[in-house]
Structure 1
Amino acid sequence: MGTLTVEDAAFGYGDGTPVLSGVAVTVRPGEVLAVTGTSGAGKSTLLRAMAGLLAPRSGKISVDGAPLTGRDHAVSLGVVLIPQDNGLAAILTAAENISVAVIATGGSPADARRRTSESLDALGLSGQANQLIDELSGGQQQRTAVARGLALRGKIVLADEVTSELDAANRQRVLDLLRAEAARGATVVFATHDPEAAAACDRELHLTDGVVTWPRP
């Protein structure tokens, strides 16, 4: 299981005006939800909150009915965030970035080797496995971040603008892999400003100026 529910929630940073308010959505295993909107609409804020990195000011976020209490709790429940800025360690190779993440979340060294090889191959990056992150192009770095996220085999996969630097072929590759995550039973939330990518998802949650404008309440 991995049903993710946001109930009438508002989010903000510090004491400032809420970035998002009145957000309500449920995403179930096997679904791919697109979160859409222009830059600054609140897509990344919502995914950060879903990942346990930002507590709601009101309302709540829960996984299978249990309120999410923070990032460590989210990780323990199998919530994986693939961030927009990729979050890769520049001093490590592509393969090392993935292996370290697998081991840190409880995988054995053998698991790490196998999952690293499989995920890099799935993203067309087998030839870049031993290259440092700084030696990779922006698109290759983005695909490495996706490979790391997929290697973690999350129950809930949150992908934040993970196709923004990719050409059409690699964008489709990533969309197919996110769909495959849903097919194995994961709950997938994909933030994107790309209408074609959003159209490939099961449902869409559209944000405008910090509120949900589609589907309408």
Structure 2
Amino acid sequence: MRTLEVVAADVAYGDGVPVLRDVTVTVRPGELLAVTGPSGAGKTTLLAAMAGLLRPAAGRVLVDGEELRDRDQGVGLGVVLIPQENGLAAILTAAENVAVAMIATGGSTADARRGTSESLEKVGLAAQADQLIDELSGGQQQRAAIARGLALHGDVLLADEVTSELDAANRQKVIELLRAEAARGAAVVFATHDPEAAAACDHELHLADGDATLLR
């Protein structure tokens, strides 16, 4: 498993003013880090940098000491991102979305079939496996995206506001699933608005006014 490090990073979109300044945080295998802060504080921006979607304007993002330069490299290093907007293909079923992602990252057809079934079961979507994404509710779509992320068994798992559309029972279940990912050795980062969800994590990085403060 791999360690994720952000070292003195300024993160901006294009040539704009940095959204975040001088961020330093380390997430080790087995740890679950909550990233908190108000809307617009930069939670999604930080996770994008951690995933390799954004290059820091200054500083570095490291995965096991290797500087992360782009998303393809991140995928190769086992960095899995569950995006806030789910990123699912509307023309595919829930099961197909999971299976395609597994095969694209090197899984066999048999592994994809088995992993798809297991991950959809974990999030309570086994009965909706063959439904098109457009036929699912917002909460079900969010759970399908979570299932896809879990099926990839990343060394680093980045979950961006993945409980925002879920009821209390499903929110708790997802937190338990993220904790299980950490227990198997992944470094897990969970961006959330939910104080109870943040409290269930090992550490909390709070973002406000461009600054990042490690609260615990």
Q: What corresponds to 2:2 in structure 1?
A: 2
Q: Give a deviation string over 1:138-176, Cα, whole Å, max 9, x none.
A: 000000000000000000000000000000000001000
Q: CA deviation at 1:15?
A: 1.8
Q: CA deviation at 1:209?
A: 1.6
Does the CA-based 8 Å contact 2:203-2:214 persist in structure 1? Answer: no
Q: CA deviation at 1:14?
A: 1.6
Measure, in 1, the Cα distance between the counterparts of 2:178 and 2:147. 11
CA RMSD of aligned residues (A): 0.9
Q: Give a deviation string over 1:102-121, Cα, whole Å, max 9, x none.
A: 00000000000000000000
Percent identity between matched residues is: 74
Q: What corresponds to 2:86 in structure 1?
A: 86
Q: Give me the TM-score of the superposition, normalised by structure 1.
A: 0.98
Q: What corresponds to 1:17 in structure 2?
A: 17
Q: What corresponds to 2:32 in structure 1?
A: 32
Q: Does 1:181 align with 2:181?
A: yes
Measure, in 2, the Cα distance between the counterparts of 1:161 and 1:10. 22
Amino acid at match of 2:54: L
Does the CA-based 8 Å contact 2:52-2:68 persist in structure 1? Answer: yes
Unaligned runs of 5+ in 1: none
Aligned residues: 216
Measure, in 2, the Cα distance between the counterparts of 1:33 and 1:190. 6
Measure, in 1, the Cα distance between the counterparts of 2:140 and 2:58. 38
Q: Give a deviation string over 1:55-90, Cα, whole Å, max 9, x none.
A: 000000001111111100000000000000000000
Q: Give me the TM-score of the superposition, normalised by structure 2.
A: 0.99
Measure, in 1, the Cα distance between the counterparts of 2:134 and 2:192. 25
Measure, in 1, the Cα distance between the counterparts of 2:125 and 2:14. 40
Q: CA deviation at 1:135?
A: 0.2
Unaligned runs of 5+ in 2: none
Does the CA-based 8 Å contact 1:40-1:209 persist in structure 2? Answer: no
Write the mapping of 1:182-197 to structure 2, written as runs, cut at 5 A: 182-197=182-197
Q: Does 1:152 align with 2:132?
A: no
